[in-house]
Amino acid sequence: MVVISGLSGASSLAADLSLAQASMIAVFFSLSANARNLILKASGEETERSLSQMRGIMAPVLACIALFLSIHISQVDISLSLAIVCRQLSEWFSEIELAHDEKGARYASAKRYLYLSIPSLFGSIAALLFLPSLFLPMLFLWALLPLAYCIPGIRRILKTMGHVSIDWRKLIPNYASTFIIGTVVLFFRLLIAGFSGKETAGQLFTAFAIGSLIGSVYEKTIGPSLAVSQSLSKTKELISRAAWGIPVLGMGIIIFLLAAWELPAYLATHLTLFSALGFSLVGGFIMVGAQEIKISLLHSESRDDVFMGDLVANFGILLSVPVVYLLFGEKAFVALFLINSLLVYFSYWLISGRTGLKVTPRLESYLHILTAFAVLAPVFFQLSSGIYHGRLEVYDWGGALGMLPLPLSMFLCFPLILFMHSLRRFRFFSIFTFLILSTMLLGTILSSAGDTFAARDKVLLSLQCIIPFFGLILAEHAGADETFLRRMAKVFLWVTVMIAGMQILVAVVSGLLRLSPDLYLFSIYGNSQYVAVVMVSAFLIGLISLYPLMEFSGSKSPILFLPIMCLYVALSWSMLAIGLLAFGVGVFLSLNRFNKIIGLSLLVGLLAFTGVYGVVFHYKGDFALMKQGSHAKFVDLRERANSLEAPISPVTTPPPTSAGALPTNIHERVSIWKFYAGSILNSDIQGILFGHPKPPPRQQYPSAHNYYLDVMYNFGLFTLLPVLSLLFYTVLSVWKSRRIFADNHYAAALASMLFFMLFVENLFKVGLRQPYSGIYSFFLWGLLLSFLRHKSFSAPKVVP
């Protein structure tokens, strides 16, 4: 229907149909749980019974939810929505019945589904083209007729409802996998409609539907059958050869559109549609390859789900819409399906273990070093110009994504997760990240109240906030053993010493009283706001973890680098970094009761304190001016979406204070906290549960200066509760394992640094929301919990 509507020129109708279909997919496909593959793979009937019972129980509820999404969120007519819901119910139950018949070799029975579906489909198409007044009745006929085929299956469901027995352990990862796909389809289309409008979106959706047709057919019908039947090997080879014609056709369309001097009138008026069609056909071919890998994984003996690949790929798909728009503009949307296909293919390829790399101790060592370096290295890239070079302490990227400095960790985090998932599979933090993303997107649906633009802006904010959570998943896959922690501590120590030394050297050579973000080879974005705290915490992890090892083995003690870090924090002018260093040195002294270092540590601390004191008060005017400029915070994607044409200027003027009042930065934070807290307390129940539909005035309130207030304001209690639950679980785990911290310095270092970042830094900043500091903090969080959960406790051993 979407394809026919789009090709006939009814782009707005095609957009409505596509959005209504997306609402149905977000509900029904979300709970499909890769059913056909699981049923065909299973030797008994338990899996089929579990899936059938779940669908029988959930059908009425899901139908109501789908109607609500279609009518109130996608803004589609109620009659059209009802027809699409009926069709989705038919397909939902037909999938189980078709798999049941195929498994039992009842092919004649399966043909009845085609006899019921195909004539009614052509009847609906004919009505749309020639008798529009009959289109809706024919659409209902097409939607309801397949239910006649499902009657035997519905009877089986009703007979077993008295003995409900569901294998949750097998089904939950598959439900999560299809849920993330179905939800992303809805928000992917909402974002496109929000950025481009319904007319353009209708043409894009038509092209995407044509391009995705072969991939959908392969995934739902041909692929599972080929996976379980050896007799169809020739058919598989024939399909593979025939499929090559699809990208050839797509490339031909693209070349024709580029080379033609003058296009026919129809092509000229539907240029977006046919441009997108060319790219989508190429993407459709790639998607078939991706689905072949997925199906082979689902039918393998060692794996029952592809959740990790689906989570990363679909997060990338959702992120691709604003990235493409802000980098290249609306016209580049024609290549979105091709981009999505590549993301899906490489995600499945990486988790499948087809890279050809063998797991060796050397490879594992390289992975450990690369992971630690990627998480910590303060190297930033701009999509428009490569490595970031900026000389200003406060950098305004002006809302142009190509100018936004993005950390190295953001680029390496996702491929590292997928590759390491092929070596060792963990689900705890991936399920938690999926839960957070789900609550954010669900809150977006319920708080936007049908406002497409509000939903679009909030999805953009959700994407920014969820990126750091992947640090949890990376930590879980990196390993919770002491081998990794030792290597990580060494990388942390040397990277921080090198960065601190370089920044001090540049400051001295340049005659500056403060660290410069420009290190000539690269520049550090957010130098004093977030990076200084990360550098100090990483140094302290290296110091606390490695001091016993190096002391006992006769190597040079890492305490010799402490004066460098003291000078670094003094020149950073970051009170949080100074406080963290003092706290960390206190932890270090309490763990290592050696009189010979107490005097040195106190002396260095005193020098650092007097240095900061002199800088702050002797150069009071310069310090105040610099602090005033530091009020410009990270400008998130939603701010660009709120004003797509005009650049965003940061807040540079703090509120005035009277003599003798609180310092300017503290006064500003208190006023902002009062505003956010007051807005939350004065909200209705929907605002408290799911957050506010729109952000506060960004010129007045650029940041909540408190991560937990920020989450509560924007996403509500529904999203904050999982975060607080993880926080409570962490505190409980640390308390239960408190006896090991005196002997295990790895655990002590992680716990103490994480404590400061969660309970101090993020009460004054939103570090957990920033890509660089957020990924680092969540990485430490994941390491500590994995370490405690697996009980890998022992005192550091001497490493030869």
Residues 85 and 228 in one domain: no
Q: Are 194 and 451 in contact (CB under 8 A)?
A: no
pLDDT of residue 236: 66
Q: Are 412 and 374 in contact (CB under 8 A)?
A: yes
Neighbours of 315 (CB within 10 A): 23
pLDDT of residue 660: 46
Domain that holds residue 25: 1-166
Residues 494 and 442 in one domain: yes
Residue 138 lies in a domain: yes
Token couple for 80: 């059209």
Sequence-distant (6+) residues with CB within 8 A of 453 are 194
For residue range 202-211, list pLDDT tens digits in order. 888 888 888 8
Q: How far apart are CA 775 and CA 783, in angstroms?
A: 12
Q: What percentage of the chain exceeds 70 in pLDDT?
A: 80
What is the rounded average pLDDT of the residues 448-464?
73
628 has pLDDT over 70: no
Q: How far apart are CA 578 and CA 750, in angstroms?
A: 18
Return the bridge partners of 518, or none: 523
Q: How far apart are CA 634 and CA 636, in angstroms?
A: 6
Q: How far apart are CA 561 and CA 541, in angstroms?
A: 13
Q: Which residue has the tokens 């960065």?
A: 499
153 has pLDDT over 70: yes
pLDDT of residue 657: 45
Residues 350 and 366 in one domain: no
647 has pLDDT over 50: no
pLDDT of residue 369: 92
Residue 175 lies in a domain: no
pLDDT of residue 327: 83
Q: How far apart are CA 732 and CA 40, in angstroms?
A: 43
pLDDT of residue 238: 73
3-state SS assignment for residue 386: strand
139 has pLDDT over 80: yes
Residues 375 and 336 in one domain: no
Lowest mean pLDDT among 60-74, 218-232, 371-385: 218-232
757 has pLDDT over 90: yes
603 has pLDDT over 60: no
Residues 193 and 129 in one domain: no
For residue range 242-283, list pLDDT tens digits in order. 778 888 998 998 898 888 777 777 777 778 888 999 999 999
Residue 176 lies in a domain: no
DSSP state of 444: H
Residues 409 and 479 in one domain: yes
Token couple for 781: 């969080």
Top-confidence residue, 468 or 197: 468
Residue 178 lies in a domain: no
Residues 401 and 429 in one domain: yes
Residue 174 lies in a domain: no
* Entry pTM: 0.80
Q: What is the CA radius of gyration of the chain?
A: 29
Residues 783 and 732 in one domain: yes
Q: How far apart are CA 667 and CA 707, in angstroms?
A: 18
609 has pLDDT over 90: no
727 has pLDDT over 90: yes
Residues 423 and 315 in one domain: no
DSSP state of 767: G
Looking at the 3D structure of the chain, how many domains does it have? 3
pLDDT of residue 725: 93
3-state SS assignment for residue 406: strand
Lowest mean pLDDT among 138-147, 202-211, 451-460, 724-733: 451-460
Decide which of 113, 138, 166 is a domain's last residue: 166
Residue 172 lies in a domain: no
Token couple for 789: 């959960």
Q: How far apart are CA 111 and CA 254, in angstroms?
A: 38
Token couple for 48: 């089929």
Residues 191 and 133 in one domain: no
For residue range 394-414, list pLDDT tens digits in order. 666 666 677 788 899 999 999
CA 781 to chain centre: 17
Q: What percentage of the chain exceeds 90 in pLDDT?
A: 14
Token couple for 676: 């956010």
Residues 460 and 347 in one domain: no
Residue 101 lies in a domain: yes
**What is the enclosing helix (H) or strand (E) of 380?**
strand 380-382
Q: Are 405 and 381 in contact (CB under 8 A)?
A: yes
3-state SS assignment for residue 652: coil
93 has pLDDT over 90: no
E strands, 506-653, are none
Half-sphere exposure of 198 (CA within 13 A, CB side): 16
Residue 447 lies in a domain: yes
What is the rounded average pLDDT of the residues 773-786?
93
Q: How confident is the model at residue 371 (pLDDT cuts 50, 70, 90)?
A: very high
pLDDT of residue 779: 94
DSSP state of 761: I
Q: Which long-range contacts (CB under 8 A, 24 or more apart) does 717-726 make?
A: 717/688, 717/689, 718/439, 718/442, 718/443, 718/689, 718/690, 718/691, 719/436, 719/439, 719/440, 719/443, 719/691, 722/432, 722/435, 722/436, 722/439, 723/436, 726/432, 726/781
Residues 208 and 261 in one domain: yes
For residue range 467-506, list pLDDT tens digits in order. 999 999 998 888 767 788 889 999 999 999 999 989 889 8
Top-confidence residue, 86 or 44: 86
Decide which of 166, 200, 235 is a domain's last residue: 166
Q: How confident is the model at residue 798 (pLDDT cuts 50, 70, 90)?
A: very low
- Taking all residues of the chain, what is their mean pLDDT, rounded to a whole number? 79
Q: How far apart are CA 465 and CA 788, in angstroms?
A: 26
Q: Are 461 and 695 in contact (CB under 8 A)?
A: yes
Q: How confident is the model at residue 606 (pLDDT cuts 50, 70, 90)?
A: low
